[in-house]
Amino acid sequence: MQLQTARDKNRDRRFHMNPPPALNGPPPFYKLASKGCERQRSPVTRRCTAPRRVAEVLLTCQTESVSFSTMAGVAVPIVELTGGVKFPMIGFGTWQSAPDVVGNAVRTAIDAGYRHIDCAWNYFNEKEVGQAIKDKIAEGKIKREDVFITTKLWCTYHRPEDVKRGFQESLNDLGLDYIDLFLIHGPPAFKPGPKWFPTDDSDFDDTDYVDTFKAMESLVDEGLCRAIGLSNFNTQQLERVLQNCRIKPAVNQVELHPYLVQQKLVDYCKSKNVVITAYSPLGSPGRDFAQPGEARVLEDPVVLDIAKNHGKTPAQVLLRYHLDRGIVVIPKSVTPSRIKENLQVLDFSLTADDIKTLGSLDRKNRYVDWSFCKTHKYFPFNDSA
Ligand code: NAP
């Protein structure tokens, strides 16, 4: 018998429901997934017996406590998370990669040498991502322990009693028996239930993200994930978690690129040894709610100029900008040539002047602004530091 997950029901419902009038169209923040990708529950989870990564070669790097791991012939830098978990500094983004193309993208990425995949419950494509990983394991290209998988708890699962269920839906869809890194997708909670996207304040829930995080600590205790962390948390919110947690958040995944430098947040995370992952490192030009005529960091003349000087592409410069500052990057692409291009960033580095010049482009420009929950008490971006 095929069982539907809450997410399947959501996807079905989204295909059939009329768009909320207030939004004048479907919620723009998350593109509707394509039809014909029904989901089935994966077998019950088992305990994590994850062996650890091998083949690491310590080399010099511009950031401290970073080593390199040779993967598919590509020397990808690694940072150590709390507890010694090794985190490849170049990952592969999967947001808004349609279910019918994401599998090929992930397979191409693994062949190219990516060993870190960034997923989330509300990308609505975890089954296809998981299948691609399984294919590569079956082919003998990788073992499960060679690839670092991040996923995220969606905001309708913030109540402590719902956390494990939200986690398990991702785990089952990915077809895995443990997750390497599990993040709270964002601090605001929404009412539990099938309506995953708020259309007004009555859909908000006031669950404290500290309580959500404490429930996630139990998943580590149970061996279901190796590390836990946060996404879209501002300095004050991160500080509250740090003050109240038993297991330190290993990572804060936030939007970062030269148009949104967030130096105060970056410095705070570094001072607390919380690793930063830069999402939308290329400025998310293909997202479905990109504004016509918006300033694109990928096309900024300064970026183009620096790229020309190094004989690299603008995307490679933007990715290197983070790596040279000790920040993890997770570019998304479904285009094979770009997937490979985005990994070819280890044969050059930017000068201190390049980094300063890129940083001076800051215009506090959020491409992913979570404006659908601006009035939530835990909305994180009121102080765009
Ligand atoms: P991004 O990686 O900044 O940009 C992706 C876009 O750039 C796609 O349209 C892609 O096109 C294009 N692109 C990729 N490589 C390129 C290249 N070398 N040259 C020119 N264009 C290129 O955007 P993102 O998807 O917003 O962010 C990356 C990942 O971060 C996501 O996929 C997701 O995993 C994560 N994320 C997390 C959050 C969060 O709230 N935690 C929010 C947003 C994103 P094609 O695909 O057509 O090649």
Centroid of ligand 1 to alpha carbon of 342 (angstroms): 11
Q: What is the pLDDT of residue 74?
A: 78
Segments of the chain assigned E as strands: 56-57, 66-71, 74-80, 86-88, 92-93, 116-118, 148-153, 179-184, 189-190, 204-205, 225-231, 251-255, 275-279, 328-329
Q: What is the pLDDT of residue 89?
A: 97
CB of 162 shorter than 6 A to ligand 1: no
Q: What is the pLDDT of residue 17?
A: 27
| pLDDT tens readout for residues 111-134 | 999 999 999 999 999 999 999 999
| pLDDT tens readout for residues 32-54 | 222 222 233 333 333 333 332 22
Asked if 157 and 132 count as a contact pair (C-beta separation under 8 A), the reply is no
Question: Residue 123 catalytic?
Answer: yes
Residue 381 token pair: 């971006």
Supply the mean pLDDT for the chain.
Answer: 85
23 vs 148, residue with greater confidence: 148
- Closest of 120, 112, 171, 159 to residue 136, by C-alpha: 112
Centroid of ligand 1 to alpha carbon of 334 (angstroms): 9
Q: What is the pLDDT of residue 310?
A: 98
CB of 286 shorter than 6 A to ligand 1: yes
| pLDDT tens readout for residues 144-183 | 999 999 999 999 999 999 999 999 999 999 999 999 999 9
CB of 303 shorter than 6 A to ligand 1: no
Mean pLDDT for the stretch of residues 288-294: 93
| pLDDT tens readout for residues 298-344 | 999 999 999 999 999 999 999 999 999 999 999 999 999 999 999 99
